[in-house]
Amino acid sequence: MFDSLSSKFASAFSSLRSRGRIKSSDVEEIVAEIRSALIESDVAQEVAKSFGDRIQELALPELERINKSTNPSQGIFEIINAELTKVLGGQTRRIRMAKKGPTVVMLVGLQGAGKTSLAGKLAQYLKSQGNTPLLVASDLQRPNAVTQLQQVGASVGVPVFAPEPGNGVGDPVKVAQAGKKFAEDKLHNFVIVDTAGRLGVDAELMNQASRIRDAVKPDEILFVVDAMLGQDAVRTAQSFLEGVGFDGVVLTKLDGDARGGAALSIVTLTQRPIMFAATGEKTSDFDLFHPDRMASRILGMGDVATLAEQAKAALDPDLTKKFEEKFAAGDDFTLMDFLSQLQALKKMGSMSKMLGMLPGMNSGAMKKQLDNLDEGELVRTEAIIQSMTPAERHDVKILNGSRRARIAKGSGRAVSEVNNLVDRFTGAQKMMRQMRNGGGMPPGMPPIPGMAGMPKMNKQLPPKKKSKSGNPAKRAAEQG
């Protein structure tokens, strides 16, 4: 997401970083580069221009101060980051709850924008926060629109209010109204109204959406737009703003190769915040839109905050506790633990998406590596472990040649892959033992999901043997 913009910014910054003192001509240069990066990424000309002007206005008077600091390019970077955050909407905007009765959220947008999918994503998100949403099928345009929403609702376990088939209820306005009434009676605290889209902006579509709006008086009207539309997304947004009005924007299909510029333009030109982003077809491919995190991602600083949140959500607290207890008891790290970790990793979502949130991962060579990352690897590893007997999983030392051949056959993988996995696991096991014995994490080792809280074990446990710590700093402390 925003990859091209991000890599263009990265090259602009690398030229700035190579300078010691920053002159006003350097600022002008980077501003020119930023402007063209923005325009190439589908940001409207006027928005790109005013963004550049603003950076210049802010940076020039600060040059003296910036040049006194140890890292002048960082000073410019911070100005750009703050301004980009502002252009992307500033603060994260959450749904405003109704003061009384259910909060009504109405979704509008063109055909295929992703409204119905979003209805499911939003419902799941709200439900996960302890709400009791109701989905309302007010798209009676397409013959299967209602069934589509019913399937979406079923998949996230959220009820759907829909007209009874065949009894002639063909008025989306009445359905919306009845849906809201149903929610009030049944004490649902959120109502999500899915509406019909059209191929292009037309008067009839606007008229229908406006009538639904007047009937249910939404607390939030969300304009759903496909980020891949580029500049067209901005024009569509402006038409919807005039025709129906909306309070916030939802960008969908950010997983595609959208150049992302539309996001910046829409916020600036409609003065409406982006509230949510959808990044795939699964109901979990959805998040609140955080302007600061997005700016930091675009600028190649990564999105560690989101990564941490996802890790936390994916980690099963019971599992983490179990690990802690196991280690405290001095038990060994087994292949089953290894498998649970892989499953936690998988739950955290697509590996490449996840790793892309780390600083510096979205530019140049790193990006290529990520794109080539083999997601199937996890699945294959899982298959191999699942083809083992419980005894084998418990102790890989019993894996002789014939057992390995049987496992390979059972999982449909090559024996070399089984060997490779056993080697990797043995290495991980060794590392875990070392940690337990007070050695701490080997340098450069990433934290392992499912193992949150592990390092603190070092403090709670006396070293098993009287061996000195493997960690030089600690050893020094022990001796000192």
| Per-residue burial over 306-330, b = 16 or more CB atoms within 10 Å of its CB, e = otherwise | bbeebbeebbeeebbeebbeebeee
- Residue spans of beta strands (DSSP E) within 240-290: 248-252, 274-278, 286-288
d(CA 271, CA 264): 10
Q: Which of these ranges, 18-26, 276-284, 301-309, 403-411, lies near ligand GTP under the rule CB under 6 A?
A: 276-284
Considering beta carbons, is residue 150 or 231 the nearer one to Mg ion? 150
d(CA 106, CA 248): 11
For residue 2, give the amino acid letter.
F
For residue 106, the minimal CB distance to Mg ion (Å) is 13
Within 89-118, the residues that bind ligand GTP by CB under 6 A are 109, 111-117
- For 316, the token pair is 């099963």
For residue 197, the minimal CB distance to ligand GTP (Å) is 2
Total residues contacting ligand GTP by CB under 6 A comes to 22
Q: Which residues pair with 137 in a beta bridge?
A: 194
Name every residue whose Cβ is closer than 8 Å to that of residue 412 and which is 6 or more positions away in sequence: 383
Within 178-197, the residues that bind ligand GTP by CB under 6 A are 196-197
Answer yes or no: are the C-beta atoms of 9 and 300 closer than 8 Å.
Answer: yes
Q: Cβ atoms within 10 A of the Cβ of 426, count?
A: 13
> Rounded to the nearest 5 degrees, what angle is found at the Cα of 138, between the Cα atoms of 135 and 140?
130
By CB under 5 A, name the one of 116, 265, 334, 340 that touches Mg ion: 116
Q: Which of these ranges, 18-26, 68-76, 98-106, 253-261, lies near ligand GTP under the rule CB under 6 A?
A: 253-261
Q: Which of these ranges, 109-117, 262-270, 361-369, 460-468, lies near Mg ion under the rule CB under 5 A?
A: 109-117
Considering beta carbons, is residue 1 or 193 the nearer one to Mg ion? 193
Q: Pseudo-torsion of CA 293, 296, 297, 303, nearest 10°?
A: -50
For residue 132, the minimal CB distance to Mg ion (Å) is 23
CB under 8 A, 24+ apart: contacts of 407-414: 408/384, 411/380, 411/383, 411/384, 411/386, 411/387, 412/383, 413/380, 413/383, 413/384
For residue 108, the minimal CB distance to Mg ion (Å) is 11
Q: Using CB distances below 5 to 8 A depending on partner kind, what does residue 112 bind out of Mg ion, ligand GTP, none?
A: ligand GTP
Considering beta carbons, is residue 107 or 267 the nearer one to ligand GTP? 107
d(CA 9, CA 62): 21
Considering beta carbons, is residue 95 or 122 the nearer one to ligand GTP? 122
Answer yes or no: are the C-beta atoms of 226 and 113 closer than 8 Å.
Answer: yes
The reply on whether position 139 binds ligand GTP by CB under 6 A is yes
The reply on whether position 478 binds ligand GTP by CB under 6 A is no
d(CA 175, CA 195): 11
> In terms of DSSP H, where are the helices of 186-330?
203-216, 231-243, 261-270, 291-298, 304-314, 317-328
- For 141, the token pair is 């345009």
Q: Using CB distances below 5 to 8 A depending on partner kind, what does residue 281 bind out of ligand GTP, Mg ion, none?
A: ligand GTP
By CB under 6 A, name the one of 134, 221, 278, 339 that touches ligand GTP: 278
Residue 134's nearest CA partner among 110, 162, 160 is: 160
d(CA 459, CA 427): 23
The reply on whether position 253 binds ligand GTP by CB under 6 A is yes
Q: Residues 69-108 vs Mg ion: string with x where CB under 5 A? A: ----------------------------------------
Considering beta carbons, is residue 143 or 444 the nearer one to ligand GTP? 143
For residue 155, the minimal CB distance to ligand GTP (Å) is 12
Q: Residues 295-334 vs ligand GTP: string with x where CB under 6 A? A: ----------------------------------------
Closest residue (Cβ) to Mg ion? Answer: 116
By CB under 6 A, name the one of 255, 287, 309, 382 that touches ligand GTP: 255
Interface contacts to Mg ion, rule CB under 5 A: 115-116
Interface contacts to ligand GTP, rule CB under 6 A: 109, 111-117, 139, 142, 145, 196-197, 252-253, 255-256, 278-281, 285
